[in-house]
Chains A and B, each alone.
Chain A
Amino acid sequence: MVRSSDDTEKKNLVKKLKDVEISVPIVYGNIAFWLGKKASEYQSHKWTVYVRGATNEDLSVVVKRVVFQLHSSFNNPMRVVESPPFELSESGWGEFEIAITLHFHSDVSEKPLHLYHHLKLYPEDDSGSLSVKKPVVVESYDEVVFSEPSENLFARVQNHPAVIVPRLPSGFSLPSVPAEDADKRRRIDPKDNPLTQWFTNFSEADELLKLAAARQQVQAQIARVRRQLTLIEGQHQQQLKPPSEL
């Protein structure tokens, strides 16, 4: 699968792994707290918009920085976050669309990736009274897919919990690149971040089950229709018999 290359080291590092993709599951969204008594007309909520690893892992292994583009009514609407946790807190009253741009390290990708999140401050049901203690949480799950990563990148991230790497075929040798230290990895201890308690746990198991059940249903229906079709075909065959039988 890997192309034979020249023997220069530089080319080795840049060599792409064909038909291989690595994916980083991320969750992005916002948490908004109503300020209650302290709320003013223009500062009714305190909210935080963020991008995190799906299991609260450290994304800085691939993400260099994140740029949040806020509504033009904010001071300096373009906010850059250079280090994890990639989150931005502000206070305000309005809901608007935030453009989130993920910039990756140079060995990961030259191009940035754009996400869009609609900031939600008020709960879905109108009757729900605003509570100071319970925040409004809206999160979206997605996966960033890097197709045909370089060997270097693959080696660097293959043991990182934030990244999903596929199994490479046996007998495949990667250049030995030191993986990141386990100490440096867990810079962000989940206990440090107070917001962690509100994060949603996205599990694919539920969705997979539903999809599998749905597929079974559809397949059963397909089989039934197919049977009906063959039945009709058979009847057509009967009708084609000459009337001498009658």
Chain B
Amino acid sequence: MDAKDILGLPKFPLPTPQEKKSRPQKDSQRKPDGISREVYALTGGVAPLMPSIDVNQLKKRPQPENEKITWEWLSFTNSARKDDLKLYHWVRVVNGTPPTGDYSFAKYNKSVDVIKYTDEEYEKHLTDPTWTKEETDQLFDLCERFDLRFVVIADRFPSPRSVEELKNRYYSVSRAILTARAPSPADVSGHPLVKEPYNMSQEIERKRALSMVLSQTKHQERKDAEILSEAKKIMESRMAAKASFILDLFPALDAELAVTSNASPEGMEKTTAPVETASPSNIQTASGVAPLMSMADNAAAAAASLRTLRVYLRTYALDQMVQAASSSAGLRTIKRVEQFLQELKVNLKPKVPTKAVCAEHLELRKEILTLLNLQKLLQNKEEGSSYREGSYTETPDTPKRGIDQDRTFVPDSVSFGAISTERVAKRDQKRKGPGREAPSSPAQSNKRPRKLKATDS
């Protein structure tokens, strides 16, 4: 009571009984028939927005009342069978009369019409040096029994013959019989056997190529994709160069271009075909050629595209050539080139871009690129050698030696033999006494001011 006072609730629970009465009423109103209360609650107690299937339809099948349905265990025959075996199954009987008609699955018993030849026909058309009549007969018998499933036939064939050989023999015999029996060649020319003859060697090649492609490793796949894209790029740049010349050449030369443009797609296909068969030699040469061509090609492509323009600004031309020259370099390298130029007090874009100035600028950029590459190479070589040189002088420095010993694999151009000999030499050095420095190291240390060396003096 006090609690109700505090909460400010009405003391006399007048409205509540009314609520209770109305609630069950509402519930029964809201719940539709056909769905249980729990299921209805799943949807949140609200009727579905979309009209659902009328529930009344779900439970019963349209049952015509005038018929009497019974189920009987009856025997049946299967027209697909050659014997007269009678099996039993449940049958839906309507009004006492059993259903008529063939076994419903009999229609699926399809078979192939394998040609049957007579002995005379064999003598006349079908003799073959590699096949005896006996073998051919056996082949055809198996074909009939196994519905031209050549894998099974090859397995069952008494003498060892490959699937392709069997196929070849079967199809050529069938074709020969067909053409022999036909009243005129024109009649059979439409028949698929005659129109597209089986080509055994092509099939063998195709299956081999397929198996090679399927058994390719991921690595190989990636390399192939790279080579193909390179080839495409080369083709495209060549086409662009050709197109630029053709624009104003005489019409007589247009025919030439048509020929060349036809040839190059074929060339593309030729390159793809060997790649697909994955012959290693082709891939080696292709990959070797592609990177070499890309550098020179970029410059040539840039020059060609400028020529197609006919009218352009010198600054634009310079931009294109700079881009072409630094196409192989990453963004960071390009930034370093620009930094270098600034250090040399050269404008990134020449203030007076005459022909001579632009040429000089381009050459300068190329030289800077070369310098940066050489510096990187030098750094790599130094780092490679420092791992070996460092241990000579730092004999008391155990951790570093430990690192060197762990480095069984040095990604350098020096062979393994060299490393092992050095280790032997190092051990010899140790025996001679600590603190002894190899004669060549001082020269090294001059060149590597950055590397910290605990030299024993």
Measuring CB to CB, which residues of chain A are less than 8 angstroms from any residue of chain B? 3, 5-6, 11, 14, 16, 23, 25, 104, 108-109, 111, 113, 115, 141-148, 164, 202-204, 206-208, 210-215, 217-219, 221-222, 225-226, 228-229, 232-233, 235-236, 238-240, 242-243, 246
Assembled-state Cα–Cα distance A148/B424 (Å): 69
What is the 8 Å Cβ interface bit string for chain B, positions 391-422, against chain A (1 contact, 0 not)? 00000000000000000000001110110011
The answer, yes or no, to whether B440 is at the interface (CB within 8 Å) is yes
CB contact between B353 and one of A115, A142, A229 (< 8 Å): that residue: A142
Instruction: Knowing A148-B310, A211-B360, say if A225 contacts B428 (CB, 8 Å).
Output: no
Assembled-state Cα–Cα distance A240/B424 (Å): 12
Contacts of A142 in B (CB 8 A): 313-315, 353
Is B307 within 8 A of A147, CB to CB? yes
Q: How many of chain B's residues touch chain A, expressed as a range? A: 35 or more
Assembled-state Cα–Cα distance A108/B310 (Å): 9
Which parts of B305-329 form the interface with A (CB within 8 Å)?
306-307, 309-315, 317
Is A148 within 8 A of B307, CB to CB? yes
Assembled-state Cα–Cα distance A25/B249 (Å): 29
Assembled-state Cα–Cα distance A176/B418 (Å): 75
Is A215 within 8 A of B367, CB to CB? yes
Is A143 within 8 A of B355, CB to CB? yes
Contacts of A25 in B (CB 8 A): 354
Contacts of B311 in A (CB 8 A): 104, 108-109, 111, 113, 144-147
Is A225 within 8 A of B374, CB to CB? yes
Assembled-state Cα–Cα distance A238/B346 (Å): 42
The answer, yes or no, to whether B345 is at the interface (CB within 8 Å) is yes
Instruction: Knowing A109-B311, A147-B307, A242-B421, say if A235 contacts B351 (CB, 8 Å).
Output: no
Which parts of B373-392 form the interface with A (CB within 8 Å)?
374-375, 377-378, 381-382, 385, 388
Contacts of B421 in A (CB 8 A): 239-240, 242-243
The answer, yes or no, to whether B371 is at the interface (CB within 8 Å) is yes
Contacts of A217 in B (CB 8 A): 344
**B352 vs chain A, min Cβ distance (A):** 5
Is A210 within 8 A of B248, CB to CB? no
Assembled-state Cα–Cα distance A115/B313 (Å): 9
Is A215 within 8 A of B363, CB to CB? yes
Contacts of A5 in B (CB 8 A): 250
Assembled-state Cα–Cα distance A203/B440 (Å): 53
CB contact between A214 and one of B312, B344, B375 (< 8 Å): that residue: B344
Instruction: Knowing A109-B310, A211-B361, say if A228 contacts B378 (CB, 8 Å).
Output: yes
A-B contact pairs, 23 of them (CB 8 A): A5-B250, A11-B250, A16-B248, A25-B354, A115-B313, A142-B315, A143-B354, A145-B311, A207-B347, A208-B360, A211-B357, A211-B361, A211-B364, A212-B360, A213-B344, A215-B364, A229-B378, A236-B413, A239-B414, A239-B422, A240-B414, A240-B415, A246-B428
